[in-house]
Amino acid sequence: MMKRYVYINDDELSEDLYCVNRISNRKYTVLNFLPKNLWEQFSRFMNQYFLLIACLQLWPLITPVNPASTWGPLILIFAVSATKEAWDDYNRYLSDKKANEKEVWVVKQGIKKHIQAQDIRVGDILWLRKNDEVPCDLVLIGTSDVQGLCYVETSALDGETDLKTRVIPSACMGIDSELLHKIKGVIECPNPDKDIRRFDANLRLFPPFIDNDLCPLTIKNTLLQSCYLRNTEWACGVAVYTGNETKLGMSRGIPETKLTAMDAMIDKLTGAIFIFQLVVVIVLGLAGNVWKDTEARKQWYVQYPNEGPWYEFLIIPLRFELLCSIMIPISIKVSLDFVKSLYAKFIDWDNEMVDVETGTPAHAANTAISEDLGQVEYILTDKTGTLTENRMIFKRCCVSGVFYGNENGDALKDVELLSAVASGSPDVIRFLKIMAICNTVIPIQSKSGSISYKAQSQDEEALVRAAAHLHMVLVNNNVNILEINFNGAIEHHEILDILEFTSDRKRMSVVVKDRGSGRIFLLSKGADEAILPHARAGQQTRSFAEAVEQYAQLGLRTLCFAWRGIEEEEYQEWSLIFKEANSTLVDREWRVAEACQRLEHDFEILGVAAIEDRLQDGVPETIETLRKAGINFWMLTGDKQNTAVQIALSCNFVSPEPKGQLLLINGKTEDEVCRSLERVLLTMRITESEPKDVAFVIDGWALEIALKHYRKAFTELAILSRTAICCRVTPSQKAQLVELLKSCEYRTLAIGDGGNDVRMIQQADIGVGISGREGLQAARAADYSIGKFRFLKRLILVHGRYSYNRTAFLSQYSFYKSLLICFIQIFFSFISGVSGTSLFNSVSLMAYNVVYTSIPVLVSVLDKDLSERTVMQHPQILFYCQAGRLLNPSTFAGWFGRSLFHDRGMGWMIGIEREFEGLYHLVLPSSTTSSCASIGGISSSDSFSALSSSLIYYSTNDSFIFFVDDFRM
């Protein structure tokens, strides 16, 4: 693995090794804007096509119209697009300028002074004050707190609103603040990356501060760019990543452009029209050359030279290519971009999608995919915080086989539990200590003495509050000392090590030392499958498994608590292994997990806690309505199976027996999963024709085997199943399931509220984030953000359906009006010697495309074929959108035929041509070429009784004009 060495407070060694802290998010510069923007615009096939047409029109020999008819709209479209890009880039420049010129305190040559943020270099020591924004990625080396703590707000980085603790490395403990600006040393860290949750590095300070021992660094020892220092008077850190090499800078990037189903269909139709256009050009070009070499030479007014240039046979086909180029409307992209932006604004302006409780409005971050909302077929949803409120309440518990809270549904009011606490029951007291100690909760004491808690996990906050209610109060949480107030007596516990929770281990542990007795304990909490299998030999865990099952049947979230004593020798031996694992720069995460496994065994299981997470208002009704609209639901959750099933039943995901049926896919081996999968598939095939609500349930272990070894069978199951409940799944598995459904050509929508849902949201065709209690990370990564799950119904049925209907009409109309004017030109060619001459002048063509047929029809963005109330009451109407009934080859063929039918007025011209064939085929000779000139315009009364100045003949190369007047029909 590549790494860098950061020399602290040493300008000579750090100079010019790494970039300065100048931030640049600009896409262009003044010099490269024009060529780069033009290159990007002309990378699109349609723009290349119109550029070719515009260039051909500059050839006077073949152009039937003034080049301005194409160059004008083309330049306008490019100018509008370039102006928008330039404006966006200018705003990025202003934002960068503001950040770059912000003044910060930096130590330079042992002196603290003000410099601009853009002049910070790697290795510089920075000083931050309360509420300051962190200008680059720092390794914390000092704070105003005596324990070396500081608090940061990371909402600008990861969307999480709760404060997080950061701590100085152990090597920097005890260094006086006056000496920090003289500190020397080296930080060994990996090259810049975008992982904001990992920082595997080592610190070595030079004498006289400390000896040369390595001190491991983690993400908890860092302050990352764009975070804010809170509740801390000052903090001091060493710059390790600067400029665009910070973790935030590396995370920036242009998100992948999502192509809607309608965009894909429009591209296919454009390709079909292009092929049709080529056929027309070839046929009419051949016919024109044949007519020129036969009929034209018989006419007295046509004078062709005996020999023409070698490319003479290309002139008429190229004329028809220019004449027929308007079959593909040049304005369609601009028109669609404009109306799609309006669709997004309609979502932003919708007052009925504002969460009254928090004041959070709906927001469309992606302005290009609104019509896809009307074609959603599968919704993949998280559970906690998405379907539920994520307001955790401690409801029940089981300690040493005794159930508390079963009678009144609230353990905190259970007389037996209160008596056990009062009498000092050892197991209950230890259970409460794990609730209060084994967490990352930050207690904040106000001036009045009241204590509030800040937690990154709502589960942990609920447990700490419940413990405090039962007189086990977490009073203070310093770097390595915890203060617990139990019934008025203060207990001090030293935190020796924290074995952090990971999605693979599914548990968290802390190694604590009781300052009173000096004994060392391992306290753990986690999922039942991560705790119960590691119980000590001989302990019966059946009662705990029954408690987990019982609480899950009630839809409660469960956590198992365990502990064991550790001898001093065992801890010292393990500590060396753990320290070494934390010091490595290669595979640190894997080696730390392996070290944790060495300690987490022979648990004494204490009990099970059950936490309630209530459903959000309107969730069952929303799901029922959307299922009637033909939308299938998959629930992807990290909770255990029974909890997820109970929530699914209460949410109307699946009907209870006998109308509904749940099919389980389980197993720990390939053979077990294979048999289970085949059994479920067979049942699905049998019940496919029956009106029964069937769903399958699978856990993360079986899912991993199925996706790896039986992907084809699982894909068939995904196609057959309307509903799926996937439990104990990881964030990567969520994204894999979205990818699986997309590979089956389904339009997918993923919705979630936490950071673990981001990968799923970004993978889906449409990502929806809920601005919930877990922060804004999911909402920021999503295409759309809403305040509550119930607003999804309106987002899809109203905004999605209207957007699809309007876009379907506008796109097909754009082709229709272009085909209409083109067919008139084609019909006219039959009475003008198939010469490729335009019936209309250039100004008329431009006015037709822009003024007469484009701008007025844009008001279709306000069209509502049905009222919003009707659509919400009859969600089955969405079937037409999902099936693409309003935009497909059949509907387009109808518009195509309509354009032909509406050109039937040209029949009178063809009739005149037949009767006055000799008169109407007037083609004037050119003085320099054999190009033909013919009818330029015709006007008449409806009765054809008289034509006055009705036939205008002109040459495109000469200014000669000839009028045929005053003849009678």
Residue with tokens 């973790």: 247
d(CA 857, CA 813): 9
| Cα–Cα distances in angstroms (integers) from residue 810 to residues 333, 355, 392, 576, in the given order | 11, 33, 48, 69
Half-sphere exposure of 507 (CA within 13 A, CB side): 29
User: Exposure pattern of 926-959 as b/e (b: 16+ CB <10 Å)?
Assistant: beebbbbbbbbbbebeeeeeebeebbebbbbbee
Is 671 one of the annotated active-site residues of the chain? no
> What tokens appear for 253 in the block?
């990037």
End-to-end alpha carbon distance in the chain = 90
| Cα–Cα distances in angstroms (integers) from residue 817 to residues 328, 332, 829, in the given order | 10, 11, 19
- What are the phi and psi torsion angles at 223 (to 5°)? -120, 115
Q: Given CA atoms 778, 779, 784, 790 in this order, what sign does their dihedral have?
A: positive
Structural Rg of the chain based on CA atoms = 37
Please, what is the Cα angle at 257 between 254 and 260, to 5 degrees? 160
Which positions ≥6 away from 56 have C-beta within 8 Å?
62, 63, 318, 321, 322
Residue at 698: amino acid letter: I
d(CA 926, CA 62): 13
Q: What is the maximal distance between C-alpha atoms in the chain?
A: 123
- Beta-bridge mates of residue 274: none
Q: Are 125 and 138 in contact (CB under 8 A)?
A: no
**DSSP secondary structure letters along 866-901:** S-HHHHHH-GGGGHHHHTTTTSSHHHHHHHHHHHHH
- DSSP tag of 542: H
Which positions ≥6 away from 572 have C-beta within 8 Å?
none
* Helix/strand/coil for 784: strand
Residue at 792: amino acid letter: L
| Cα–Cα distances in angstroms (integers) from residue 685 to residues 123, 438, 693, 716, 719, in the given order | 65, 48, 13, 10, 11
Nearest residue to 925 (alpha-carbon basis) of 964, 954, 965: 954
Nearest residue to 607 (alpha-carbon basis) of 397, 405, 420: 397
d(CA 467, CA 438): 12
d(CA 497, CA 511): 5
* Helix/strand/coil for 654: coil
d(CA 635, CA 502): 21
Strands (E), 424-488: 442-445, 451-454, 472-477, 481-486
Using N-to-C axis directions, what is the helix angle for 907-915 and 801-829, rounded to 10°?
A: 10
- In residues, how long is the chain? 969
- Beta-bridge mates of residue 749: 379, 766
- What are the phi and psi torsion angles at 613 (to 5°)? -125, 100
Q: Are 19 and 242 in contact (CB under 8 A)?
A: yes
Residue among 124, 137, 382, 528 flagged as catalytic = 382
Q: Are 380 and 636 in contact (CB under 8 A)?
A: yes
Just list the catalytic residues.
382
